[in-house]
Amino acid sequence: MTQQHVNRRDFLKRTAASAAAVTLAAPAIAQNTDGRVVVVGGGFAGASCARALKRIDPKISVTLVEASHTFTACPFSNAVIAGLRDLKQQQFDYKKLEGPINVTFEPATRVDTDARTVIIGDAARLPYDRLVLAPGIDIRWDGLPGYDEAAAARMPHAWRAGEQTLLLRKQLEAMDDGGLVVISAPANPFRCPPGPYERASLIAHYLKTRKPKSKLIILDAKDAFSKQGLFLAAWKELYPELIEWVPLSKGGRVTAVDPKSNTLTTEFGSHKAAVANVIPPQKAARIAEAAGVADKTGWCPIDPVTFESKLAPNIHVIGDACIAGGMPKSAFAGNSQAKGCAAALAKLLNGEKPDEPKLINTCYSLVSPDYGISVAGVYTPVNGQWTDVKGAGGVSPAKAPRSDRALEANFANGWFKTITEEAFG
Amino acid sequence: MRPNHCLAALVILCASATSASAIDVAPAGAAACSGCHPASRAVETPFTRLTGRPAAEIVTAMQEFRGGQRPATVMDRIAKGFSDDEIKAIATWYARQKD
Amino acid sequence: MAAARALINVPPKARRGEVIGIKSLISHEMETGFRPNATGQLIPRNIIKEFVCTYNGVEVFRAEFFPAVSANPFVSFTTRATESGTITMTWTGDNGFHASESVAITVE
């Protein structure tokens, strides 16, 4: 019953959309295209979506709007912080995309949903039949008392890779042996759920090898985290006495920071750090709010089959910015969603009904350079929400030989090469 | 809107109902594989390429991963999320893809 | 009874008449008593029923808890600093649960 109702509604919506397309998209038809898609954001989700669209239906005109000429990838940036990797290995450009895809290096500032136009830079207007927003995250600068953009220059978040990544690395390199490193981890949801704990692991690896008298404390606003059992067991094995995890129920939630004294305050105490890495609360990046597709949580509710916003028609939101139910905010999930969204868009623009999709996520974390662990999931829409397929997915086995951990570390490296090739060429 | 547009729209809708599609969209789950299994030959990774691989090989591998007969790190967990029909559709699609 | 860990935060010093913030958090699992176990039998209720704060022996704050209370309950409230002395917080609950923490405060 419900299913029929949805189908009918979708049918009506599509009929209306194609009628509108005929009147509005006349130039597109004249140029013999299947429609115009503008993708905002050239990260894992946006770049993958733009390329997937062209692969599936070369007749769709695709424009990618991205403010920066260089993309700096977050996955593996924890290895840069720990001195195991160069930032250059994280950086990609859009040269392989240009040609089939129109790439515009301007920030998208506004969306005129009625005129179906993206405003880029100061005034230039880009018309679309379908808009894909893959803007990633912004820091909530009002989310943690004391933590503003100036504070981030002293207490880096390093949660958007680039200068911040290098700043945290430099601070660790400059720290005396015996220093206290404090990581503040936010409450859910946030980009890369296992990220703070991989970071703690790789920083611990650096400290163990270079500054063994040092200590690392994770102040956490949660009582549970991704791959927790595996991380805790690995820390005990690799970094005994080095990492201390303070969960919410033990007073771990950071309530304020003071960049002048490099101090983090919790409900029950304060910690003066030699190096403080504050991972603050986050939200969908600004353009999502400007387009009216972010709800009061700061993230974007979507229809799981098409990724179309529940708040504005013809705008599809993918990657970290969207609310994808059981799917985490990860590069793999963003890439997976990008291809799902591209398939749905190609169908919609060809007047067809999108297929019922199924997506996968796999997230690798490195506990040390040769010790990898993973979490995987298979997802399908249930009651309008991306939901874990029962019996599938889960984390690496708790008891596994070190050779398996080494194999997973190797797979993690392989995954990075594959996914960046798929997104950026 | 001119009448012939309506006719065109109807023709497209009928075509989709009989699953003859103008575009080749990967079956459910298939597109996600290329997050690890590279489509391009240029990538040096330890992962098996699926593009152009015989369908029967992919089906056997997935079924053995799912049943636990084939050693795995992550594919056992992923394969459990797919039915026989879904595996077959994915395998057939990848077998058909060309470099 | 598992060892409980209580955290409390009371300013060590205050001016006479100042309104001070007090925070407390205790690790406790909180079982509602309404959940069945694997064999279908109800898991016995195990919650903290009462939280009391005294200031030099005089009760200044009391809270009663019910099965909907969260695990590891966090309680934050204010009181007026009147004199130097001891602030004591006590938690009591099912299965004879009892925990108490005291802290000194100097009022000038």
Instruction: Kindly report, residue by residue over B45-66, the tens digit of the pLDDT.
Output: 999 999 999 999 999 999 999 9
Phi, then psi, of A144 in degrees rounded to 5: -145, 115
Cis peptide before A354 (omega within 30 of 0): no
The number of CA neighbours under 13 Å toward the Cβ of A253 is 17
Whether residue B68 has pLDDT greater than 80: yes
Q: How sure is the predictor about A28, in pLDDT bands with cuts at 50, 70 and 90?
A: very low
Instruction: Say how many C-beta atoms besides its own lie within 10 A of residue A93's C-beta.
Output: 15
Asked if residue C102 is part of any domain, the answer here is yes
Give partners of C (≥3 CB pairs < 8 A): A
Q: Which DSSP category does B24 fall into? A: -
3-class DSSP state of B77:
helix
Rounded Cα distance between C48 and A159, Å, is 39
Amino acid at A248: L
Rounded Cα distance between A380 and A388, Å, is 7
Whether residue A272 has pLDDT greater than 60: yes
Q: A55-93 pLDDT, tens per residue?
A: 999 999 999 999 999 999 999 999 999 999 999 999 999
Asked if residue C73 is part of any domain, the answer here is yes
Can you give the three-state secondary structure of chain A, one letter per residue? CHHHHHHHHHHHHHHHHHHHHHHHCHHHHHCCCCEEEEEECCCHHHHHHHHHHHHHCCCEEEEEECCCCCEECCCCHHHHHCCCCCHHHHEECCCCCECCEEEECCCEEEEECCCCEEEECCCEEEECCEEEECCCEEECCCCCCCCCHHHHCCCCCCCCCCHHHHHHHHHHHHCCCCCEEEEEECCCCCCCCCHHHHHHHHHHHHHHHHCCCCEEEEEECCCCCCCHHHHHHHHHHHCCCCEEEECHHHCCCEEEEECCCCEEEECCEEEECCEEEECCCEEECHHHHHCCCCCCCCCEEECCCCCEECCCCCEEECHHHEECCCCCCCHHHHHHHHHHHHHHHHHHHCCCCCCCCCEEEEEEEEEECCEEEEEEEEEEEECCEEEECCCCCEECCCCCCHHHHHHHHHHHHHHHHHHHHHHHC
Contact A414, A372 (CB under 8 A): no
- Locate A364 and state its tokens: 């690798």
Rounded Cα distance between A319 and A307, Å, is 10
Q: A240-270 pLDDT, tens per residue?
A: 999 999 999 999 999 999 999 999 999 999 9
Q: How sure is the predictor about A393, in pLDDT bands with cuts at 50, 70 and 90?
A: very high
Asked if residue C63 is part of any domain, the answer here is yes
CATH classification at residue C51: 2.60.40.10
Give Cα separations from C4 to A232, C1, C71 (angstroms): 22, 8, 12
Quote the pLDDT of residue C4. Answer: 53
- Strands A71-72 and A91-92 come out as antiparallel
Q: Which helix (H) or strand (E) holds B37?
A: none
Maximum CA pair distance of chain C?
Answer: 60
**B-chain residues near A377 (CB < 8 A):** 81
Mean pLDDT score across all residues of chain A: 93
CA distance A349 to chain B (A): 11
Rounded Cα distance between C63 and B6, Å, is 69
Q: How sure is the predictor about A33, in pLDDT bands with cuts at 50, 70 and 90?
A: confident
Q: B9-58 pLDDT, tens per residue?
A: 444 443 334 445 778 899 999 999 999 999 989 999 999 999 999 999 99
Tell me if chain A has a CB within 8 Å of the CB of B20. no
Whether residue A377 has pLDDT greater than 70: yes
- Locate C96 and state its tokens: 């004879």
**A-chain residues near C74 (CB < 8 A):** 267
**B-chain residues near A418 (CB < 8 A):** 34-38, 43, 45, 47
Rounded Cα distance between A330 and A336, Å, is 10
The number of CA neighbours under 13 Å toward the Cβ of A123 is 0
ipTM value:
0.89
Q: A284-318 pLDDT, tens per residue?
A: 999 999 999 999 999 999 999 999 999 999 999 99
Q: A123-144 pLDDT, tens per residue?
A: 899 999 999 999 999 999 999 9
This prediction has a pTM of 0.89
Rounded Cα distance between C106 and C15, Å, is 8
How many distinct structural domains can be found in chain C?
Answer: 1
Give Cα separations from A311 to A129, A289, A322 (angstroms): 17, 11, 12
Whether residue A18 has pLDDT greater than 70: no
Ordered by start, the domain boundaries in chain A are 3-14+33-136+285-424, 151-278
Rounded Cα distance between A308 and A316, Å, is 4
Q: Which helix (H) or strand (E) holds B66?
A: helix B55-67
Asked if residue C8 is part of any domain, the answer here is no
Whether residue A29 has pLDDT greater than 50: no
Q: Report the b/e string of A122-140 with b at 16+ CB within 10 A.
A: eeeebbbbbbbbbbbbbbe
What is the share, in percent, of chain A residues with pLDDT greater than 90?
A: 91
Contact A29, A61 (CB under 8 A): no
Rounded Cα distance between A325 and A322, Å, is 9
Rounded Cα distance between A95 and A98, Å, is 5
Give Cα separations from B42 to A73, A235, A425 (angstroms): 20, 36, 10
- Locate A159 and state its tokens: 């949660």
Strand partners, C100: C90
Quote the pLDDT of residue A267. Answer: 94
Quote the pLDDT of residue B12. Answer: 42
Q: Which DSSP category does B25 fall into? A: P
Whether residue A201 has pLDDT greater than 50: yes
Q: Cβ separation of B36 and A350 shorter than 8 Å?
A: no
Give partners of A (≥3 CB pairs < 8 A): B, C
Query: Which positions 36-95 of C are in contact with A (Cβ < 8 Å)?
Result: 71-72, 74, 76
Quote the pLDDT of residue C39. Answer: 92
Task: State which residues of chain C have pLDDT below 70.
Answer: 1-4
CA distance A268 to chain C (A): 5
Ordered by start, the domain boundaries in chain B are 27-96
- Class of the CATH domain delimited by B27-96: mainly alpha
Interface test with A, best of C25, C69, C75 (most A CBs within 10 A): C25
**C-chain residues near A223 (CB < 8 A):** 72
Residues 6+ apart with CB under 8 A from A332: A44, A360, A361, A362, A363, A415, A419, B35
Q: Which of A248, A250, A268 shows the shortest C-beta gap to C9?
A: A268
Quote the pLDDT of residue C29. Answer: 86
Asked if residue C23 is part of any domain, the answer here is yes
Q: How sure is the predictor about A154, in pLDDT bands with cuts at 50, 70 and 90?
A: very high
Compare C3 and A374 and report the one with higher pLDDT: A374
Q: Cβ separation of B25 and A336 shorter than 8 Å?
A: no
Q: Say if residue A395 is exposed, middle or buried (CB neighbours under 10 Å; 0-12, 13-18, 19+).
A: buried
Whether residue A22 has pLDDT greater than 50: no
* Among B87, B7, B16, residue whose Cα is nearest residue A354: B16
3-class DSSP state of B60:
helix
Rounded Cα distance between A415 and C96, Å, is 54
Q: How sure is the predictor about A31, in pLDDT bands with cuts at 50, 70 and 90?
A: low
Of 3.50.50.60, 3.40.50.970, 3.20.20.70, 3.20.10.10, the CATH number of A3-14+33-136+285-424 is 3.50.50.60
Whether residue A341 has pLDDT greater than 50: yes
Domain span at C96 = 16-31+47-107
> Which CATH fold topology does A151-278 show?
FAD/NAD(P)-binding domain (3.50.50)
Residue with tokens 């509710």: A301
Contact C105, C87 (CB under 8 A): yes
Can you give the three-state secondary structure of chain C, one letter per residue? CCCCCEEEECCCEECCCCEEEEEEEECCCCECCCCECCCCCECCCECEEEEEEEECCEEEEEEECCCCCCCCCEEEEEEECCCCEEEEEEEEEHHHEEEEEEEEEEEC
Quote the pLDDT of residue B20. Answer: 59
Contact C46, C101 (CB under 8 A): no
